Amino acid sequence: MTQDAGPPYPALVRTRPSLVAAVAISVALVVVGFWMVIAGWPEQTPTQETLLDLAQLPMAAAVLVGIVEMTWTRRLWLRSRKVFVGVFAPAGLALLLGVALVAVAYGTGLPYSGTGQLLIWVAVGLAFVYLAVDSLRREVSDHRALLFDEVGDDVDGDDHMADWDDQDYEPEGEYDPAASDDARDL
């Protein structure tokens, strides 16, 4: 009796409850952002102007939910604390400062809302770039077999045309650039 080995790619099939929750929350936040754009589009009332102005905040929050889920799942703070703190501390500071500026702007009427939203997106961008670099690092350090054939000794790629014998494909005299249709049109 043989035991079922399972699906051929178990990592692609496996879902985590935190991933499902993050996707559901992110989709809900994007829907809220779209609703804010649609509801605020006429910009006839102060409420509509505010909805349209703040519509990007749920979008940023949706991206932030994904970043938090991936950071938590990968336990990134355990890999390199200095790098993690060096990236996430400024990102967290920019996020807090951005939220504070947006709150001050709408509480007092000062024109800091755009600056605050920019800082929020900078914070989200810093964290996202850190995750992207970590993903690339994990991919490069993954020693699983690839679907490609083994690469020969030509690691730097300067001998990539050695197997192409141009004489076999284009015998001398068969291709005359002057006789082509393009040359006659000139």
- DSSP for 91-157 reads HHHHHHHHHHHHHHHHHH--S-HHHHHHHHHHHHHHHHHHHHHHHHHHHHH--PPPSSPPP-S--S-
- The reported pLDDT for the residue numbered 149 is 47
Task: Specify if 2 maps to a domain.
Answer: no
89, 70: one domain: no
Query: Is 182 a residue whose pLDDT tops 80?
Result: no
Could you tell me which residues come within 8 angstroms of residue 4 by beta carbon, excluding any fewer than 6 positions away? none
Asked, for residue 47, whether it belongs to a domain, the answer is yes
- Kindly state whether residues 136 and 80 are assigned to the same domain: yes
- Please check whether residue 29 is in contact with residue 61, taking contact to mean a CB–CB distance below 8 angstroms: yes
- What confidence tens digit (pLDDT) does each residue in 46-84 have? 999 999 999 999 999 999 999 999 999 888 888 888 989
pLDDT at 174: 57
pLDDT in tens, 16-56: 888 999 999 999 999 999 999 999 998 899 999 999 999 99
Quote the domain boundaries for residue 119. Answer: 76-141
Same domain, 101 and 120: yes
Helix (H) or strand (E) holding 183: helix 181-185
Do 130 and 97 have their domain in common?
Answer: yes
* Residue 110 located in a structural domain: yes
Q: Is residue 161 part of a domain?
A: no
Q: Is residue 186 part of a domain?
A: no
Both 82 and 115 in a single domain?
yes
Q: Is residue 67, in this structure, part of any structural domain at all?
A: yes
Q: Name residue, tokens 């939220």.
A: 99
Q: Which run of H or E residues covers position 24?
A: helix 17-40
Domain count within the chain:
2
Q: Contact 37/55 with Cβ under 8 angstroms?
A: yes
**pLDDT tens across 71-126, in order?**
998 888 888 889 899 999 999 999 999 999 999 999 998 888 999 999 999 999 99
Task: State if pTM tops 0.75.
Answer: no
In a domain, 182, yes or no: no
Distance in angstroms (rounded) separating the CA atoms of residues 184 and 108: 73
